[in-house]
């Protein structure tokens, strides 16, 4: 079952030549978080594999998703104070988010302590981060509820987060350098403190009436989307432009440089059509499942880009998992066949298609991830969740001289 091969010889040979190059200019990261993480990592035993730390961090975000979802599956709890989420749930969620953030900063440091740095750790780290990108915003939606923040607006907030994550890897695909975004640290601190405040004060603070009919949900939307437009996207475009101008980038033709954007845009267009043209308005009936479906597809697209970026190979122009999505969207949005076959597409039919597609895509994505990890482990003769030094691994470590400008922050392994 897990014997499928997703990596070509070009991918594997590219991994052999790969060198991690990272630039972190965030003062908060350099002067606050890195010293903190350097202290924390000393408490971890050297037999503990860095990928186990990464995986444990990811499981904390999944736990939050399941816990909050149990109390507020359809984002309706904030609409009615009698059905609000218990305060202890928010406090635990805040602790889990900050723990995820801390472990995510420690795993790379643990890799260097144990001499296990390499391409597998970076792929494992960023691959799971791409899934977390979908989970964390979903926690925040429960603060405001579906009245103040309808699912269609949640959808665009989610895509803004996807875009911020994805553009960072498009940037690396073209420049060969991972420019660590300042917003990462501030976002996770902000999420942790917001959830903690909610736990102590109550979710009612997010229902405060603002002038001119605005709500706290509006502030959340504008702040999140506006900060990305101002502080993230222009810097990414500038970094790519300067790398090509100075001859330090990959120097791909324009269409090849823009190629990573194609599957991302295809997914956005197809999912947007479903959201706005569903016969049964499924986004308002099953928003959480739809967000997980889109998040899983996004994670698969992002993982494939990360593989191409690290192996210096051509990235995909289209993701094959979108073909089933296209089929479901056609059936769910266009009614011509109903009159032709005298058939009414009931709400339950669309729900079952959504559930089935989500299960299929999730299994396919897990299959891809497990197979790719196995292929890399076999190629480098290492274990994903075990610290083991071999002569081959030592040669790999010598060839992977990780480079960073500030010599302080290696987030990936």
Please check whether residue 3 lies inside any domain of the structure: no
Average the pLDDT over 356-369 and give the result.
97
Please check whether residue 131 lies inside any domain of the structure: yes
Q: pLDDT tens for residues 339-354?
A: 666 677 788 999 999 9
Q: Is 189 exposed, middle or buried (0-12, 13-18, 19+ CB in 10 A)?
A: middle
205-228: per-residue pLDDT in tens?
998 888 988 999 999 999 888 888
The pLDDT value recorded for residue 401 is: 43
CA distances to 130, 162, 164, 191, 225 from 229, in Å: 20, 13, 9, 19, 6
Q: What is the mean pLDDT of residues 80-89?
A: 80
In degrees, rounded to 5, the angle at the alpha carbon of residue 392 between the alpha carbons of residues 389 and 393 is 45
Q: What is the mean pLDDT of residues 286-291?
A: 97
Q: What is the pLDDT of residue 265?
A: 97
| Strands 403-404 and 21-23, bridge-based pairing | parallel
Q: Work out the pLDDT band at 70, boundaries 50, 70, 90.
A: very high
Domain tally for the chain? 1
Task: Give 34-59 pLDDT, tens digit per residue.
Answer: 999 999 999 999 999 999 999 999 99
Structural domain contains residue 112: yes
Q: What CATH number corresponds to the domain at position 271?
A: 1.20.120.1760
Please choose, from the candidates 185, 263, 183, the residue with its C-alpha nearest in 3D space to the C-alpha of residue 229.
183
Residues 147, 79 contacting (CB under 8 angstroms)? yes
pTM of the shown model: 0.91
Question: Left, alpha or beta for 381 (phi > 0: left; psi -120 to 50: alpha)?
Answer: left
Contacts 24+ apart (CB under 8 A), 342-345: 345/279, 345/280
Burial 4-28 (b: 16+ CB within 10 A, else e): eeebeeebbebbeebebbbebebee
3 pLDDT above the threshold of 80? no
| pLDDT at residue 88 in the model | 96
The token duo for 246 is 């100075």
Asked whether residue 86 is assigned to any structural domain, the reply reads yes
- For residue 337, the enclosing domain spans 9-403
pLDDT of residue 342: 67
CA distances from 320 to 267, 290, 361, 389 (A): 11, 19, 10, 37
Task: Please name every residue paired with 179 in a beta bridge, in sequence order, or none if there are none.
Answer: 23
Rg from Cα positions in the chain: 22
Higher pLDDT, 229 or 288: 288
The rounded distance, in Å, linking the Cα atoms of 125 and 316 is: 21
C-beta of residue 353 within 8 angstroms of C-beta of residue 325? no
Residue 413 resides in a domain: no
- 203-209 long-range contacts (CB < 8 A, ≥24 apart) are 203/77, 203/78, 203/84, 203/85, 203/90, 203/143, 204/81, 204/84, 206/78, 206/143, 206/144, 206/148, 207/78, 207/148
DSSP class of residue 314 equals P
Total Cβ atoms within 10 A of residue 156: 13
**Cβ count within 10 A of residue 52:** 17
Within a domain: 385 = yes
Report yes or no: 368 and 303 within 8 Å, Cβ to Cβ.
Answer: yes
The three-point CA angle 289-294-295 to 5° equals 95
Half-sphere exposure of 123 (CA within 13 A, CB side): 28
For the record, the structure tokens of 406 come out as: 């500030």
Residue 115 maps to a domain? yes
Query: Is 411 domain-assigned?
Result: no
pLDDT digits (tens, 9 = 90+) for 375-396: 999 999 999 999 976 444 444 4
What pLDDT score does 239 carry?
Answer: 93
């Amino acid at each position: 079952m897990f014997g499928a091969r997703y990596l070509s010889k070009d991918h594997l040979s590219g991994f052999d030549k790969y060198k991690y190059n990272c630039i972190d200019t965030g003062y908060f990261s350099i002067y606050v978080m890195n010293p903190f993480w350097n202290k924390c990592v000393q408490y971890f035993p050297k037999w503990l594999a860095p990928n186990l730390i990464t995986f444990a961090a990811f499981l904390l975000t999944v736990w939050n998703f399941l816990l909050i979802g149990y109390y507020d599956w359809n984002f309706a709890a904030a609409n009615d104070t009698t059905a609000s989420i218990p305060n202890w749930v928010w406090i635990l969620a805040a602790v889990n988010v900050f723990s995820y953030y801390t472990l995510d900063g420690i795993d790379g440091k643990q890799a260097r302590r144990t001499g296990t740095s390499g391409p597998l750790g970076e792929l494992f780290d960023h691959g799971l981060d791409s899934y977390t990108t979908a989970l964390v915003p979903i926690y925040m939606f429960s603060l405001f509820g579906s009245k103040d923040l309808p699912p269609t607006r949640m959808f665009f907030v989610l895509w803004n987060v996807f875009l911020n994550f994805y553009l960072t890897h498009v940037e690396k695909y073209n420049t060969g350098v991972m420019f660590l975004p300042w917003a990462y640290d501030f976002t996770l601190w902000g999420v942790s403190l917001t959830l903690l405040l909610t736990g102590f004060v109550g979710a009612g603070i997010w229902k405060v009436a603002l002038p001119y009919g605005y709500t706290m949900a509006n502030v959340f939307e504008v702040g999140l989307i506006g900060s990305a437009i101002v502080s993230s996207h222009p810097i990414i475009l500038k970094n790519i432009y300067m790398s090509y101008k100075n001859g330090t980038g990959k120097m791909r033709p324009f269409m090849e440089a823009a190629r990573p954007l194609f599957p991302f845009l295809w997914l956005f267009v197809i999912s947007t059509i479903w959201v706005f043209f569903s016969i049964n308005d499924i986004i308002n009936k099953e928003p959480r499942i739809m967000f997980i479906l889109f998040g899983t597809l996004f994670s698969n697209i992002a993982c494939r880009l990360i593989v191409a970026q690290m192996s210096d190979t051509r990235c995909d122009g289209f993701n094959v998992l979108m073909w089933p999505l296209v089929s479901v969207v056609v059936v769910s949005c266009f009614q011509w066949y109903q009159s032709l076959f005298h058939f009414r597409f009931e709400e339950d039919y669309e729900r079952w298609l959504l559930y089935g597609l989500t299960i299929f895509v999730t299994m396919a994505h897990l299959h891809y991830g497990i197979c790719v990890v196995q292929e890399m482990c076999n190629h480098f003769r290492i274990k994903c969740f075990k610290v083991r030094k071999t002569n081959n691994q030592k040669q790999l470590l010598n060839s992977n001289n990780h480079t960073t400008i500030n010599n302080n922050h290696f987030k990936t392994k």
